[in-house]
Structure 1
Amino acid sequence: MRPLIGLDQVSVAFPGTLALDRVSLQVFPGDVLAVIGANGSGKTTLLTTLTGLRAPTGGTVVDADGPVRLRGPADALTRGVALVPQEPQLATSLPVWENLLIGHGGLRGAAPGRAARARARALVAEALPHVDPGTPAGQLRKADRAIVALLRAQSSRPKVLALDEPTAVLGDRGVEIVAEATSRLRAEGGAVVLVSHRLRDIVRLATRVAVLVDGRLVHDAPIGEVSVEELVETMAAGRPASAQVTARVTGERPSGGSAVPRAREHRLSVEVLAVRGLREHGLSVDELTVRAGEIVGLAGLAGSGRSRLCRLVAGASGGSAPVTFLGGPLPSDTRASRRAGIAYLPEDRANESVFAGLTVARNLEIADVVPAGLGTLFGPRPDRSRTARTISEFGIKTASHQTEITALSGGNQQRAVLARVLAHQPRLLVADEPTQGVDRTGRAAIHTMIRRFAESGGAVLVVSSEFEELQELADSLHVIRDGRVVARRPPDCEYRELVALATGARDEKEAEQ
């Protein structure tokens, strides 16, 4: 049987990392191929390479006729390969039904006729009976937008449908909706490639399962030949259970790493952040507290709600009654949160943290604007001697304080951002992926900055895609899945247990201690 699409010894390299390492994988008619792996294993990179969004740096994409060169998603679509990304990409100002027809006519093709328009409206009415097909797509809730994106991909009649975390935002009906789509496509001789962290969904939907570990394909077999427990073990392959945690607690030097300070004795009498009985913004948290001097890690996979929770407790999503800060109400916006003593480090450094057109000094000094306020008669005067001390204290490597910040390495940009948010001695640091895209040396420096802040009495809530990093850095871990905090674990727990909880291989009752 000839493949519909596939990879032949494909590698994809990014600066400092190899996202895919000589992966060979083929998709055949009738397949529902699930691709799984821990955060950073290369799942999404594999999907975007198959669908023309990313070109391989080595190896080739193949189809039934041999090697092909995909110059972009349009090339992939002409070959019958359609992608539904995790974040729905719709024309928000257009009606829902019209989004289903975007791209069908091509640049020179005729506009869709009356029959096509009627069919699009009928598809929306059938899949989303509570939605008027004429509603602008931007007014839909996220789950409904995901369904529209799936309908649009199906309406192009693809041979291969690539789905990135399709059940993450669809709620209880998610598996049924995806199951119907895959069943219909398989009946027509097509195939589905499914990336998901929800192992129980995969067991129900998939016919084959492929496991990626650090960009390498380590397993590819029919789903019936492996149990959920074996999949968890495979995903955790090659990762020591708690070597880094042991090093942190004993003060020993881990192999190839930097010295780790001994465990701190915390003064945990002051409850800085408390979340109790939260049931909003798609989140469900019975209890999560962070005390002065404590580093709490939030472990979850992509789409789990970890960043949503960070934004909420940092005040970026408005105030929330179930969340308290220093015993009082959570501030109602980001500026008020900063003034109250909450420092927030967003996940997206390039778009939300770094002021790309400004120098290193200006990026550090802009933190003075919030405490001074925007309504003052005279703006705050930068203290260049303090800026120089900050650059030195936090080890920011720059030729000059007048160097544009985007000329710095990713690790030094992140140090500068962290130095800026810590400059005014906040009480709480909410750090979402503080070492993402940072090399080993930069990561160790950022860890030291966070530990020093905690040792000085600060409270830290930190997210990392790498569970081993949280085990090394945090004093306690909370596991989040589908917006629900499902378990609390000590940092020296087994890595495979964190994977099982985060993927749903273990349910909430099993997670209780």
Structure 2
Amino acid sequence: MPVLEVSNLSKRYSGVAALSDVSLSATAGEIHAIVGANGAGKSTLMNLISGTVSPSSGSISLDGKNVRFANPQAAQSMGIATVYQEFSLVPQLSVARNVFLGREPRNRFGLIDPARLMADTRALLSKYKIELDPAAEVESLSVAQQQMVEIARALTYASRVLILDEPTAVLSLREQENLFSIMRRLRDDNLLILFVSHRLEEILNIADRITVFRDGRKIETLAAAGSSISEIVNRMTGRERALPKQPAPVQENAESYTIEYKSSGDPQTIRIRCGEIVGIAGLVGAGRTGFARSLAGLSGRNGAVRIERDGKTLSLKSPRQAMREGVVYLTEDRKRDGIFSGLDLVANATAAALPDLAQGGIRNRRAERDRAASMLERLHLVAASLSLPISKLSGGNQQKVVMARALLTHPKLLICDEPTRGVDVGGKAEIHDILRGLAAQGTAVLVISSEIEELLSLSHRILTMRDRRFVAEMPARQTSEKDILMAASGAAPAKETS
């Protein structure tokens, strides 16, 4: 008997169908992957199963018994735990407090028992080989470390069903492998894991079965063994997978940016030509985001940076000054730094371009809507209305809105930190095409990505960072994933940039 079964499940918002007549079943001791393009219905299905929203019609059953959850706490009480793509941590509290939030061990006076809390957290982290300090404040952790706190918290529940929504999006390869080891142990302990991911390579590596969604409907469930990426993409998109495109050649006489960066050791100098896409690789903690934030006028403790464009030093004392110089940063953490969750799509897309869209210093709402609509159409946004709050969109579609905001500023040097995090295969191709198009028009583009395959297919050159220094520079067309990983991990001799 399936541990989880949904029958004819549908969800509508204001008459718009987000999920239509979906039926599927999953068994204990299984890793069941859920895949589909942004807006295909994956997140809606997970929200229904986890009790975040209620279905418009259809049913959910656990162990053959129909259930209906009033809220996520009700689902948790029946053994369904969820790790969401967007974090729900309390930044000011410790790792231990976040892991056991609301369920902390108490002493005989009813007060939190700090010693036992720390001991229980250390035991949990040790059991699953999660390298975190229980006493560390969450706000001091990297995005990847915060993701591991979310996963650790889910493991504290006596769960029969564990939902993982894009858990590897911000993890290094080593952390991904550790997570996969955890998932396999949980599966062997007879847990059902519902695994949502856009990374099809890892799905084929870890999943037992795969269910494909498109346009709010279930398309097919197939065995992972024997399936191919092209086969899955064809079902997701309804069309044949296109081959990756090559970036346009860079003009020999193109202007260039000279970047002097100092974070540890002696200053380093790198150059990027207008019309060039340069990828930045490295393991989590290598210093890539610190470098990117420095370029955008967010230096703080991340390091010192100076940029020249053909001999002219640019002023980068603040993000506003950086944007005036044409240096635009696309953040990796859209929830914390990228979106205005209570505002609609137009406001989010045009927030950085309002001075250009105003007339005589007065906001031009029509111009804002027209420009936002045009750019979001170009990025193939899936949304029922531009008046929707951005918080109502899937993570991938939120990322497209943040990308639209960056593009509407007409950047001269665009720094993209994980630009396709949480974006489906089709959406990735669209964003890649946008970046290639910008480069072809003369924009210099820096791309930070944890997906080495993405860097290899998108970039002209790839710079690799380790310990907050650039240690290797390689032409993308003559480089392999192994070359980059060897340089990033220190297993190969460093080939430092000048």
Normalising by the smaller structure, the TM-score range is 0.5 to 0.7
| Alignment check: 8 A CA contact 2:19 2:45 kept | yes
> How many aligned positions are there?
409
Secondary structure at 2:219 match in 1 = strand
1:339 equivalenced with 2:324 (yes/no): yes
Relative distance call for 1:17 and 1:6 in structure 2 (3 A) is: same
Q: Hey, what does 2:52 align to over in structure 1?
A: 53
Conserved? CA contact 2:105–2:112, under 8 Å: no
Equivalent residue, structure 1, for 2:76 = 77
Q: Structure 1 residues 179, 219: CA separation in 2 closer, same or farther (over 3 Å shift)? A: same
Q: Does 1:487 align with 2:456?
A: yes
Corresponding residue SS for 1:217: strand
1:280-359 equivalence runs, <5 A: 290-291=274-275, 312=293, 315=296, 317-318=298-299, 324=307, 326-327=309-310, 328=313, 331-342=316-327, 352=339
The verdict on how the C-alpha distance between 1:17 and 1:343 changes in structure 2, with shifts beyond 3 A counting, is farther
Contact 1:345 1:353 in 2 (8 A): no
* Change beyond 3 A, Cα 1:509–1:145: closer
Compute the displacement of 1:76 (Å).
0.9
Letter in 1 for 2:51: G
Q: Which amino acid aligns with 1:223?
A: A
- Residues 20-419 of structure 1: matches in 2 within 5 Å? 20-104=19-103, 118-125=119-126, 131-238=132-239, 271=255, 290-291=274-275, 312=293, 315=296, 317-318=298-299, 324=307, 326-327=309-310, 328=313, 331-342=316-327, 352=339, 385=360, 387=362, 394=367, 411=369, 414=372
- Length-normalised TM-score, structure 1: 0.60
**Matched residue type, 1:32:** I
Kept in 2, the 8 Å contact 1:476–1:489? The answer is no
Change (3 A) 1:94 1:189: same
**Cα distance, 1:476 vs structure 2:** 6.5
Which is greater in Rg? 1
Distance, in Å, in 1 between the alignment partners of 2:352 and 2:173 is: 47
Residue 475 of structure 1: aligned partner: 437
Task: Quote the Cα distance in structure 2 between the aligned partners of 1:90 and 1:272.
Answer: 42
Query: Following the alignment from structure 2 to structure 1, what is the Cα–Cα distance between the partners of residues 83 and 148?
Result: 10
The farther-off stretch of 140-149 and 342-351 is 342-351
Q: 1:206 to 1:432 in 2, by over 3 A?
A: same
Residues in 1 aligned to 2:154 and 2:481: alpha-carbon distance in whole angstroms:
34
CA contact (8 A) 1:310 1:432 kept: no
| 8 Å CA contact retained: 1:35, 1:43 | yes
Contact 2:259 2:307 in 1 (8 A): yes
CA, structure 1 residues 385+39, in 2 after alignment: closer, same or farther (shift >3 Å)? same
Q: Tell me the residue number matched to 1:504.
A: none
Deviation at 1:335, TM superposition (A): 1.6
1:8, 1:61 within 8 Å by CA — same for their partners in 2? Answer: yes
SS at match of 2:101: coil
SS for the counterpart of 2:324 is: helix
Could you tell me how far apart the structure 2 residues matched to 1:272 and 1:355 are?
Answer: 39
- Equivalent position SS for 1:71: coil
- Equivalent residue letter for 1:337: A
Identity, % of aligned positions: 23
Q: Which residue is 1:422 aligned to?
A: none
TM-aligned CA distance change 1:448 to 1:98, over 3 Å = closer
Distance 1:342 1:314 in 2: 8
The answer to whether the Cα contact below 8 Å between 1:51 and 1:82 also exists between their aligned partners in 2 is yes
1:33 CA drift (Å):
0.5
Match of 2:8 in 1: 9
Is the 2:51–2:70 contact (alpha carbons within 8 Å) kept by the matching residues of 1?
Answer: yes
The Cα of 1:158 is off from its aligned counterpart by 0.6
Residue 125 of structure 1 contacts residue 131 of structure 1 at CA under 8 Å; is this kept in 2?
no
Distance in 2, matches of 1:221 and 1:196, equals 16
Distance 1:355 1:81 in 2: 28
Where does the alignment leave 5 or more consecutive residues of structure 2 unmatched?
265-269, 388-396, 398-402, 440-444, 460-479, 485-498
User: Structure 1: which 5+ runs fail to align?
Assistant: 246-265, 281-285, 372-381, 397-410, 419-430, 491-506
In the superposition, relative to structure 1, how do residues 273 and 198 fare at CA in structure 2: closer, same or farther (>3 Å)? farther
Shift of 1:187: 3.5
Question: What is the CA distance between 1:30 and its match in structure 2?
Answer: 1.0
Q: What is the Cα deviation at residue 153 of structure 1?
A: 1.2
